[in-house]
Amino acid sequence: MDFQLSEEHQLIRDVARRIARERVAPRAAEIDAKEEYPEDIFAVYRDAGLLGLTIPAAYGGSGAGFLALALTVEEVAKYCCSSGLMLLLTALPTQPIVLGGTEEQKKTYLPPIAKGEMRAAFGLTEPNAGSDAAAIQSRAVRGDKGYVINGEKAFISGGAVADYVTMFAKTDPAARARGISGFIVPKTAPGFSVPRLDEKMGVRGIATAMLCFEDCTVPAENLIGGKENEGFKTVLGTLNSVRPIVAARGLGLAEGALSYALDFARQREAFGGPIADLQAIQFMFADMAIQIEAARVLTYQAAWLVDQGRFQRQDSHMLSIAKAFATETAVKVSSDALQVLGAQGYMRDHPLERHYRDARQLMIVEGTSQIHRVIISRALLDRDLVYP
């Protein structure tokens, strides 16, 4: 069992670390305060070739894989969770096309993302359908000019800046999950609109948006895979494969919070010396490190599984374990790091209040912690996860 990163992975991580320290860190507070999409950070990623890590080389990406993307997101999220989400959004909306798209769809829609010429969003969640993805109500009906789509999508990260959306709608409503199809909807499609942006607690540099499809018409060739009622399998494959990247957001955020609090504790004096000399504080840091290192192993293993093509039902519990543990670690570590700073940690003079706000999102997106526990417990009951 080899825990050593490959030379390629080390190189990608080092590039991401340099970008994170030199370009992302100085902008993190401003990105949060202004709630503006950081175009300058996007340009840095584009110039460094980091926008196509999970897109196969045949379609303009580097094909470096999900572990490479996880390493990149981890480094960036140490300083800015919004900038980490920007990288995740190169994989989440494109993975349905990678997994289920036709050859023509792959050639048309994947290279512009890898080159930074276009941006995309993933449209699944609706006002009345979140964790229960099979309950979506958006409808798509075949017509003379293609498909006519009606419905709404809610809380869509990057939806306001996306050039196209990979979205899912019912083509056979009576069939529930088996009646879902995927579509590629350009922002220029008639009937598509972005009527509202959300007021968020954290991760404020990447807006979430309400997307509306009102008699929105797309050509028949925009049906993902060219077949109706094949969308739910693509949804599950996409969500499973991207879960290690959400875990990496949590891992990086936790590392950044610990590092900041530790530097503070070495300088802050109380009771005759630095508070880092107090055993109560030392034990807090030790617990943070234990959680972070456990989250790292789970996250890297999950990303490796995806790169091996192991993200179907029989392995999904391991992806859920990584996502749940790493994101909950982010919340716990950011909270404890803030506690080390005391009242100062609660102030915007320090990044920990931002880390804490950002971390809280991670236990909700890409499946809540409770949904992942359902997946894990089912794996135990079905003997997919066994301790002989």
CA–CA separation, 147 and 60 (whole Å): 28
Cβ neighbours, 10 Å, residue 236: 17
Give the three-class secondary structure for 36: coil
Of 75, 255, 353, 366, the catalytic one is: 366
Q: Which of 238, 243, 240, 213 is nearest to 224 (CA)?
A: 238
* Beta-carbon count within 10 A of 68 CB: 24
Ranges of beta strands (E only) in the chain are 120-123, 139-143, 146-157, 164-170, 180-186, 192-197, 208-218, 269-270, 273-274
What are phi and psi for residue 198, nearest 5 degrees? -90, 150
Tell me whether residue 152 is one of the annotated catalytic residues. Answer: no
* Neighbour-count burial of 182, counting CB atoms closer than 10 A to its CB (0-12 exposed, 13-18 middle, 19+ buried): buried
Place of tokens 């590629």: 184
Helix axes 7-19, 39-48, angle to 10 degrees: 150
Amino acid at 183: F
Asked if 244 and 66 count as a contact pair (C-beta separation under 8 A), the reply is yes
Tokens coding 117: 């010429």
Tell me whether strands 164-170 and 120-123 are parallel, antiparallel or unpaired.
parallel
Pairing of strands 208-218, 146-157: antiparallel
Cα–Cα distance, 163 to 34 (Å, whole number):
23
Give the helix, strand, coil percentages of the chain, each rounded to 5. Answer: 55, 15, 30
Rg (CA), the chain: 21
Q: Within 13 Å of residue 226, how many CA atoms lie on the same side as its CB?
A: 7
> Annotated catalytic sites, by residue?
366
